[in-house]
Amino acid sequence: MSIFGGRMKEYPTISLDRFDRENLHARAYFLSHCHKDHMKGLKGPVLKRKLQLSRTVRLYCSYVTRELLLSSPKYAFWESYTVPLELDSPTQISLVDETTGEKEDLVVTLLSAGHCPGSVMFLFEGSQGTVLYTGDFRFSTGDISRMDHLHSGSRVKDIQSIYLDSTFYDPKFFRIPTRDACLKGIMELVGKWISQSPHHVAWLNCKAAYGYEYLFTHLGEEFNTQIHVNSLKMFKKMPDILNYLTTDRRTQHACRHPKFEEFFPSSRLPCGCFAPDGTPLHIISIKPSTMWFGERTRKSSVIIKTGGSSFRACFSFHASYSELKDFLSYLQPVNIYPSVIPVGQTLAEVTQTLKLMCRKQSEAYTYKPLGVLKRSMATQPTCGSDSDDELFDTLDLAPVRKKMGLIPETENEVGEKAPHPLETASSPPAKGPLAVTDSQPLKCNYADCTESKSSTSNEAKPNELEGSSSSHLPKWEDFFVTETLPDSQNSLTSRSCSVPSPSLSRLTGSQTPELFSEGEEERSTHSSQNQDSELADTLILPHENAGSEQGRSGNSAASPKVNRDQPAREAQSESQASSDFDIPSTPESKKPRTDELLLLYRRLAAGDGTLLGKTS
């Protein structure tokens, strides 16, 4: 949760993600994404009154964020005061003091942040230097090198300060399975379950927030079905999301209204556990939650069984420690300000460890440091450390140089699918009534395993396992269209339940998720009081045609992943491979811009300091 106060040292007349207290006097506002902890004060009457009196104060955000914001009545008054900006389009903004007329120009560029729909970073360039406010973000290792606006020609821009989403800036969170790996594990679990019968359903017990949409769209696409939610209104201009969602109660959406629970007293689900015809549903609950693996952890599953029918599935909106290290060592800012205190740390501690990632003061060039570093750095920045040794054992000691080991790995994509499968989503998935299917026994070769974050016995190179740079940011911005859809697009009553899915077999025929039982933790009740956040509970219905033998069994993924430092790393069985996040998938996966990356990293390895934005 963000503790950022709203203002940056370099540009104190603007406020970001905080709208109360001293931020009430800002000349411009910026909202990085639509999570409540970044919207403090945003609906305040004091601010509203100020806006009504002002001619110049505006809120800048992405188009998607604006849409999500205005879809809530509490924030609808912002309609007249918001200025949506395109991604990757530098925009000049005049900051005007309305009493004195004093004016300052600032160029802002929005960079997709990969945190939730509409989430962006803000890159500011002005008289006080270049600063990057990350908002909340998740980049995979190597993503940063693809961001054109952080480069100037072949050089990385000279960044004075980064205001960082430091949620996981702690070696404890060294590695978090990639988005693709998590998605794949969830898909496999869901596929195995719902293919058994039309009354097998999967409940995605999501926290109430934006950010799960790409999970819904991928699941909807894969299983040719829709995810059942409470409200669609926030997505009315985002057909590529909308098409995979429904509120139709006949399809047993995960209703959140407490009064409905009276009708389903024994339900574990907000919407009850019976099909429309009264048949009891067979429900598994899947709770997306962050799983991380420490620096010495070898591997683990992305799915963990927590009860007879309860699972946790790995899912992270935030960059892991090694992803953050990659990000910071690439950019080498003069200053880094944490905006989140990692659990178990103090502000002083995280500030101190982040200093190790700052550029040496002597390397700072023409810009005068504003938020002065109080001590000179004892270390050179690590230019992309890629081994345990560099990241830990010598953390406080000697500098290390970038190695080739950081070449982004691109072979880890989920299947053959492009990361964003929604190009065709304007034609909704085929729909049909809940149909009888061939019931397939669930082949659960669940291998018990230890949750590896507690494992310390094996040396590993976890950061090498982490970075699938191929898990590109979900292109949430692509979801957005400026035209309002015709009503027919919003009327989803005809899309009732699940449908035959030829694609299911692609998943269900293959391997079994590797699960870990943490004992019985079945919930007997579930209350969902969250009236405002419509996506917190969702339900996936099964589809017809559970056929499952063929498909991706044998998983073309089987080609072993390149492991540069540990080529002899123990081979994984195929049955583990399908759900284990560190196993690559399709070799044929798209590998966009790999050549560029290779070139870049080779130049780095060759000591081409120009790529690091250094003067020397």
Partner DNA sequence: GCGATCAGAT
Partner DNA sequence: CACATCTGATCGC
d(CA 60, CA 371): 25
CA of residue 12 relative to chain centroid, distance: 29
Structure tokens at 389: 């040794």
CB-CB contact of 331 with 144 (8 Å): yes
Q: Minimum distance between the CB of residue 13 and DNA, rounded to whole angstroms? A: 22
* Cβ nearer to DNA, comparing 260 with 367: 260
Out of 89, 424, 484, 531, the only residue in the binding site for DNA (CB under 7 A) is: 531
Contacts of 347 by beta carbon, 8 Å cutoff, 6+ apart: 3, 338, 341
Is 44 a binder of DNA (CB under 7 A)? Answer: yes
Is 305 a binder of DNA (CB under 7 A)? Answer: no
DSSP state of 361: G
Is 207 a binder of DNA (CB under 7 A)? Answer: yes
Secondary structure of 111-163 in the HEC alphabet? EECCCCCCCEEEEEEECCEEEEECCCCCCCCCHHHHCHHHEECCEECCEEEEE
The site string for DNA over 162-191 (x = CB under 7 A, - otherwise) reads: -----x----x-------------------
CB-CB contact of 144 with 295 (8 Å): no
Q: Minimum distance between the CB of residue 14 and DNA, rounded to whole angstroms? A: 20
Q: Minimum distance between the CB of residue 533 and DNA, rounded to whole angstroms? A: 4
d(CA 243, CA 221): 10
* Cβ nearer to DNA, comparing 288 with 551: 288
DSSP state of 106: E
Out of 52, 346, 445, 529, the only residue in the binding site for DNA (CB under 7 A) is: 529
d(CA 189, CA 286): 9
Q: Minimum distance between the CB of residue 92 and DNA, rounded to whole angstroms? A: 30
Taking contact as CB under 7 A, which single stretch among the options 41-49, 239-247, 351-359, 381-389 is the one that binds DNA? 41-49
CA angle 438, 439, 440 (to 5 degrees): 110
Taking contact as CB under 7 A, which single stretch among the options 92-100, 190-198, 259-267, 315-323 is the one that binds DNA? 315-323
Q: Which helix (H) or strand (E) holds 60?
A: strand 59-62
Out of 211, 408, 429, 513, the only residue in the binding site for DNA (CB under 7 A) is: 211
Q: Is 398 helix (H, G, I), strand (E, B) or coil?
A: coil
CB-CB contact of 425 with 239 (8 Å): yes
Please give the residues from 98 up to 127 whose contact with DNA meets the rule CB under 7 A.
none
d(CA 581, CA 171): 19
CB-based burial label for 82 (10 Å; 0-12, 13-18, 19+): buried
* Cβ nearer to DNA, comparing 253 with 268: 268
Contacts of 496 by beta carbon, 8 Å cutoff, 6+ apart: 246, 248, 250, 251, 431, 432, 433, 434
Please give the residues from 136 up to 165 whose contact with DNA meets the rule CB under 7 A.
136
d(CA 345, CA 292): 17
Is 312 a binder of DNA (CB under 7 A)? Answer: yes
Q: Minimum distance between the CB of residue 93 and DNA, rounded to whole angstroms? A: 26
Is 50 a binder of DNA (CB under 7 A)? Answer: no
Number of residues that bind DNA (CB under 7 A): 40
Please give the residues from 268 up to 297 whose contact with DNA meets the rule CB under 7 A.
288-291
Out of 41, 171, 433, 592, the only residue in the binding site for DNA (CB under 7 A) is: 41
Q: Is 326 helix (H, G, I), strand (E, B) or coil?
A: helix
CB-CB contact of 515 with 303 (8 Å): yes
* Cβ nearer to DNA, comparing 25 with 103: 25
Is 36 a binder of DNA (CB under 7 A)? Answer: yes
Is 310 a binder of DNA (CB under 7 A)? Answer: no
Out of 88, 248, 349, 532, the only residue in the binding site for DNA (CB under 7 A) is: 532
* Cβ nearer to DNA, comparing 63 with 210: 210
Please give the residues from 439 up to 498 whose contact with DNA meets the rule CB under 7 A.
none
Q: Minimum distance between the CB of residue 2 and DNA, rounded to whole angstroms? A: 8
Out of 315, 476, 479, 581, the only residue in the binding site for DNA (CB under 7 A) is: 315
* Cβ nearer to DNA, comparing 44 with 500: 44
Residues forming contacts to DNA in the complex (CB under 7 A) are: 1, 20, 34-37, 41, 44-46, 136, 167, 172, 207-211, 288-291, 306, 312, 314-318, 343-344, 518, 526-533
